[in-house]
């Protein structure tokens, strides 16, 4: 696999405030990578630099071997970019706009119509082709923005919050579309919707305050950074005794009652508590109604990382 | 080159799809029509009556010199008001609406964007100008017209227009606010219109400043004299401001 994006020491100051400082990461060809972070973490700034729209203060970013600043034109030829708010020429109709985008991206005249039909179909825009963009809803505008990024099948897609403003059905469609693109396309997207990132992306880069705090697959992040496993139990019996007994198990960090005979057990290490807990409950003569191992969700990992930073 | 065409066609579509173009056309043709029929034409009529009394002077009544010379010269001043309205949108609106982020991440070189936008503005201006062709056509029915002189006059106005539009495009690249773009273009144009207007006899500066003036180069063309000095001035003026626009666009890449 070849390296699609190589970023080294990337720093960007707005005035005296650093938006990102010394970012370094790589994205391989065909990967779907998600940027995750709270507002103002530097996601959009990073994507803008990659798209060649903003110059970095220092450091360098290379796409497909071309420098984003000095070889901007070559970078932009291999790029489809959806900016954060999906800005569009609202005076034009959808097909007029797509026609312009196709021409600007250098799609040959003979292929333009087919290419426009392809992206309009993929983004569900066929019925609004003759509508003025100014009268489209936010969801449709977002899809038009996505459609223009897909024109000419660029090897790299940079999507800043691609599913924002879409309704749930559309979100499913667009996610499927992005998934289908992986393989021949490299996709870098940013999002603050965690389930989206964990579903879509093969790798997640979490940024906070302009720095990368974690970069791994969603599963690994949940596992490693959650530090330990959790167990959900439903047991019929005297609550105080059950809690005391669960706490007594080796490797258990904490056990709490969640009401209605439900208990949550946290272990301090990666050890699987299920066999021990089951044996314990049965030995004491209580009824074991439910036993489930629970992984930390990406949401919790994320919050952990972001709040740790502040502490 | 295809990039220039892409931008040009998009800009033309936007111009013809928005009311601004039609409003501009309405006011421009209203003012031109008023000037033509109530000032130049009635002056021509009065002059014709006088000559009817005094037939020896008939050879002196040249419709071009009487009517079209002032028509073209006054048109020059109207351009100062008209051209900032044509160009104010071009780059300022891209910045305000955020579409600059799309435009400048498409694989278009900066010069293609600038040239496409400039040519679109020039075509829009030329479209408005085409409607004024009806005046020489009307005159052609009344008297003999020297079409060569008319062509020289239109060339002068078109070149002056190109110079003004280039300056307007530059003003539009400086701000994200269309009104500020229009006002600063108008202020700069007025400066270049009035510069050297003071006729101090014997001062070397007056001549130098006057030759920088946009106004100074129109009268020759308006009376039908094509002087390369005037053509070159307008072309260089336009080129200079297109060049500044390019520098201004480039500055976003190093002004980190």
User: In a 3-state reduction of DSSP, which class is residue A60?
Assistant: strand
| Residue A19, min C-alpha distance to chain B (Å) | 12
Nearest CA in chain A to B19: A91
The helix (H) or strand (E) run that includes residue A293 is strand A287-294
| Residue A84, min C-alpha distance to chain B (Å) | 10
Nearest CA in chain B to A69: B253
Q: Please answer yes or no on whether A90 and B97 come within 8 Å at the CB atom.
A: yes
Residues of B in contact with A77 (CB under 8 A): 107
Of the listed ranges A280-294, A296-310, B147-161, B222-236, the one predicted with least confidence:
A296-310
Q: Give the separation between CA B121 and CA B188, rounded to whole angstroms.
A: 18
What tens digit of pLDDT does each residue of A138-196 get?
A: 888 988 999 999 998 899 999 998 887 778 887 888 888 888 877 678 999 988 777 77
Mutation pick from B17, B102, B108 vs chain A, by most beta carbons of A within 10 Å, is B102
Q: What is the value of ipTM here, to two decimals? A: 0.87
Phi, psi for A12 (deg, rounded to 5): -140, 125
What tens digit of pLDDT does each residue of A87-115 get?
A: 999 999 999 999 999 999 999 999 999 99
Cα separation values, B144 from B43, B45, B100, B147, B224, Å: 17, 15, 52, 9, 15
Q: Please answer yes or no on whether B253 and A148 come within 8 Å at the CB atom.
A: no
CB crowding B37-48: b at 16 or more within 10 Å, else e: eeebbeebeebe
| Residue B112, min C-alpha distance to chain A (Å) | 10
Q: Give the separation between CA A266 and CA A226, rounded to whole angstroms.
A: 11
pLDDT of residue B202: 62
Residue stretches of chain B with pLDDT short of 70: 58-61, 63, 198-205, 255-256
| Residue B10, min C-alpha distance to chain A (Å) | 6
Q: Give the separation between CA A307 and CA A287, rounded to whole angstroms.
A: 39
Nearest CB partner across the interface for B14, out of A77, A92, A104:
A92
Residue B131: count of CB within 10 angstroms of its CB: 13
B6: tokens are 């892409």
Residues of A in contact with B13 (CB under 8 A): 91-92, 96, 100
* B2 within 8 A of A103, measured Cβ to Cβ: yes
Degrees to nearest 5, angle at CA A209 with A203 and B176: 100
User: In a 3-state reduction of DSSP, which class is residue A52?
Assistant: coil
Nearest to A124 by CA among A93, A172, A170: A170
Q: Give the separation between CA A183 and CA B90, rounded to whole angstroms.
A: 39
- For the cut 60, the answer to whether the pLDDT of residue A310 exceeds it is no
pLDDT band at A298 (very low <50, low <70, confident <90, very high): low
User: In a 3-state reduction of DSSP, which class is residue A236?
Assistant: strand
A236 class by beta-carbon count within 10 Å (0-12 exposed, 13-18 middle, 19+ buried)? exposed
Nearest CB partner across the interface for B105, out of A53, A57, A90:
A53
What share of chain A in percent tops pLDDT 90? 26
Q: Give the separation between CA A155 and CA A181, rounded to whole angstroms.
A: 10
Average pLDDT, rounded, for chain A = 84
Q: How far is CA A39 from the centre of its chain?
A: 14
Of the listed ranges A56-60, A125-129, A179-183, the one predicted with least confidence:
A179-183
Nearest CB partner across the interface for B105, out of A13, A81, A85:
A81
Give A98 or A288, the one with higher predicted confidence.
A98
pLDDT band at A1 (very low <50, low <70, confident <90, very high): low
| Residue A76, min C-alpha distance to chain B (Å) | 5
pLDDT of residue A311: 42
């Amino acid at each position: 696999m070849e390296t699609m994006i190589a970023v080294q020491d990337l720093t960007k100051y707005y005035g005296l405030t650093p938006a990102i400082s010394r970012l370094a990461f790589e994205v391989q060809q065909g990967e779907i990578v998600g940027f995750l972070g709270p507002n103002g973490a530097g996601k959009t700034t990073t994507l803008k630099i990659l798209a060649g729209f903003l110059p970095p203060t220092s450091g360098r970013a290379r796409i497909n071997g071309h420098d984003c600043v000095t070889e901007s034109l070559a970078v932009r030829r291999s790029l489809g970019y959806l900016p954060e708010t999906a800005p569009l020429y609202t005076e034009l109709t959808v097909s007029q706009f797509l026609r312009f985008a196709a021409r600007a991206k250098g799609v040959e005249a003979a292929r333009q119509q087919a290419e426009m039909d392809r992206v309009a179909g993929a983004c569900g825009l066929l019925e609004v082709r003759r509508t003025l963009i100014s009268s489209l809803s936010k969801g449709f505008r977002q899809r038009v923005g996505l459609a223009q990024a897909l024109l000419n099948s660029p090897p790299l897609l940079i999507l800043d919050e691609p599913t924002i403003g879409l309704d749930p059905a559309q979100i499913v469609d667009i996610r499927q579309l992005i998934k289908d693109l992986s393989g021949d396309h490299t996709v870098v997207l940013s999002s603050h919707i965690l389930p989206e990132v964990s579903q879509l992306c093969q790798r997640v880069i979490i940024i906070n305050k302009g720095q990368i705090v974690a970069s791994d697959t969603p599963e690994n992040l949940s596992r490693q950074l959650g530090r330990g496993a959790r167990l959900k139990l439903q047991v019929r019996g005297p609550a105080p005794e059950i809690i005391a007994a669960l706490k007594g198990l080796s490797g258990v960090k904490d056990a709490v009652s969640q009401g209605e005979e439900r208990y949550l057990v946290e272990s301090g290490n990666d050890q699987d508590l299920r066999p021990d807990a089951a044996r314990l409950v049965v030995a004491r003569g209580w009824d074991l109604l439910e036993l489930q191992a629970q992984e930390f969700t990406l949401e919790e990992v994320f919050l952990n990382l972001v709040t740790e930073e502040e502490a | 080159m295809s990039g220039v065409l892409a931008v040009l066609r998009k800009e033309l579509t936007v111009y013809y799809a928005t009311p601004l173009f039609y409003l501009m056309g309405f006011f421009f043709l209203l003012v031109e029509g008023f000037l033509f029929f109530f000032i130049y034409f009635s002056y021509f009529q009065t002059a014709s009556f006088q000559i009817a009394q005094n037939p020896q002077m008939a050879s002196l009544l040249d419709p071009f010199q009487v009517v079209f010379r002032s028509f073209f010269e006054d048109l020059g001043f109207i351009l100062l008001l008209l051209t900032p309205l044509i160009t104010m949108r071009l780059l300022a609106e891209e910045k305000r609406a955020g579409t600059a982020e799309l435009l400048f991440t498409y694989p278009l070189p900066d010069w293609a964007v600038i040239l496409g936008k400039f040519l679109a503005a020039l075509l829009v201006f030329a479209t408005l100008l085409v409607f004024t062709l009806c005046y020489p056509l009307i005159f052609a029915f009344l008297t003999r017209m020297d079409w060569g002189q008319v062509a020289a006059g239109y060339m002068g106005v078109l070149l002056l227009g190109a110079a003004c539009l280039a300056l307007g495009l530059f003003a539009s690249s400086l701000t994200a606010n269309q009104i500020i773009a229009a006002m600063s273009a108008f202020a700069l144009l007025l400066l270049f219109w009035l510069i050297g207007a003071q006729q101090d006899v014997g001062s070397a500066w007056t001549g130098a400043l006057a030759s920088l003036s946009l106004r100074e180069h129109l009268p020759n063309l308006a009376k039908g004299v094509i002087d390369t000095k005037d053509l070159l001035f307008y072309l260089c003026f336009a080129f200079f401001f297109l060049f500044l626009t390019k520098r201004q666009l480039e500055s976003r890449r190093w002004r980190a």
